[in-house]
Amino acid sequence: MGRKQSLEANDEPKHPTKQENGVFDVAKLAKFDGTNSSQLIFIGIKDKVYDVSHMRQFYGKDAPYGCFAGKDATIALAKNSLTTEFIPKPGAKIYDLSVLDESETKALDDWAVFFDRKYEVVGTLKY
């Protein structure tokens, strides 16, 4: 390996800008909670998966919104909850958005717009 090549290898960014695009179920999403070797942090909202890795101050371990790291945050965001109560576990059935009332639906839609504007979509969330 040449000198330039090995330098490039050492300079490899911790958070590559291009992530694997694809389909995530809750179990696959859970691997991207920032604690795995790649250190990537993904969050699912409705049918999309967002890369929030560069906002570790919000979503990293012990950060205020770390509870959403590697999780489907759909219902939790709709219900303005930071507990695990509304975070689906692997094998869970897809959330039923019709259980949300009008203000929860509005809150969720606002969050979806916020994430669409701020973060890169890296995949689709499927159950």
Site residues for ligand HEM per CB under 6 A: 52, 55, 58, 65, 76-77, 80-82, 118
Tokens of 30: 């859970």
Alpha-carbon span 78 to 108, nearest angstrom: 4
Closer to ligand HEM by CB, 52 or 112: give it.
52
**Smallest separation, CB 115 to ligand HEM (Å):** 7
Closer to ligand HEM by CB, 24 or 68: give it.
68
Instruction: Please give the single-letter amino acid code of residue 122.
Output: V
The owner of tokens 């203000």 is 103
**Smallest separation, CB 21 to ligand HEM (Å):** 21
Distance linking the first and last C-alpha atoms of the chain: 44
**Smallest separation, CB 77 to ligand HEM (Å):** 5
**Smallest separation, CB 26 to ligand HEM (Å):** 18
Closer to ligand HEM by CB, 38 or 81: give it.
81
Alpha-carbon span 83 to 33, nearest angstrom: 16
- Asked if 50 and 92 count as a contact pair (C-beta separation under 8 A), the reply is no
